[in-house]
Amino acid sequence: MTGAEILNLSLPAKYVFRSGVSRIDAPDAIVRLAEKSDSEAAALLLSSTEMLEPEFQDWPVELAASLAKNPSLDMPRWREVKGISGWDLSRGFGKVFGIPPCAYRARARTRQAWRAIRTTDTALATIAAMISRRGRCACAVRRVLVQETNE
């Protein structure tokens, strides 16, 4: 057989999985365990994952990864370091992802807030303050809740 096979595991809210590039030494063990228990397979996956530093092919993907990791990233400083104009940043990112980087950042902040809501006992006002963009955060989380409810 050739090609990749994909195994989708549901990760319970108690597990935190950092997005990025990683290596797993024994994927077959995870697949075998998933036949018996998704939660045990997820635990094995998370405990045996080695995160790697990604090598980016282009700056829009690097910016998306940076925003996913840190939604409060100083974009003007990031583009200055990379030597990219504001116009090129917005246009180039939009060509690759279909949305401007500020909208991508808003979605990253929403995911961060949603993760905090699901995995902590922190008050919503505190989460909103931590994420910043207080008014927008509440609206974005509401949109995510409505979307998940309708699916």
Per DSSP (E only), the strands in 14-130 are: 21-24, 49-52
Per the structure, the complete domain to which residue 126 belongs is given by: 59-150
Average pLDDT, the chain: 80
Residue 96 and residue 32 share a domain: no
What sign for the dihedral angle of Cα 128, 131, 136, 142?
negative
Residue 141 and residue 71 share a domain: yes
Does position 121 have pLDDT exceeding 80, yes or no?
yes
Residue 139 and residue 84 share a domain: yes
107 burial type by CB count under 10 A (0-12 exposed, 13-18 middle, 19+ buried):
middle
- What is the domain count for the chain? 2
> What mean pLDDT do residues 43-52 have?
84
Could you tell me the CATH number of the domain that includes residue 135?
A: 1.10.10
* Per-residue confidence (pLDDT) for residue 134, from 0 to 100: 41
Residue 118 and residue 70 share a domain: yes
* Per-residue confidence (pLDDT) for residue 57, from 0 to 100: 79
- Convert the pLDDT of each residue in 48-85 to its tens digit: 888 777 777 789 989 998 898 888 889 999 999 999 99
122 is written with which tokens? 């922190």
Residue 120 and residue 100 share a domain: yes
Q: pTM of the full predicted structure?
A: 0.57
Residue that finishes a domain, picked among 40, 55, 70: 55
Residue 85 and residue 35 share a domain: no
Residue 127 and residue 144 share a domain: yes
Residue 23 and residue 11 share a domain: yes
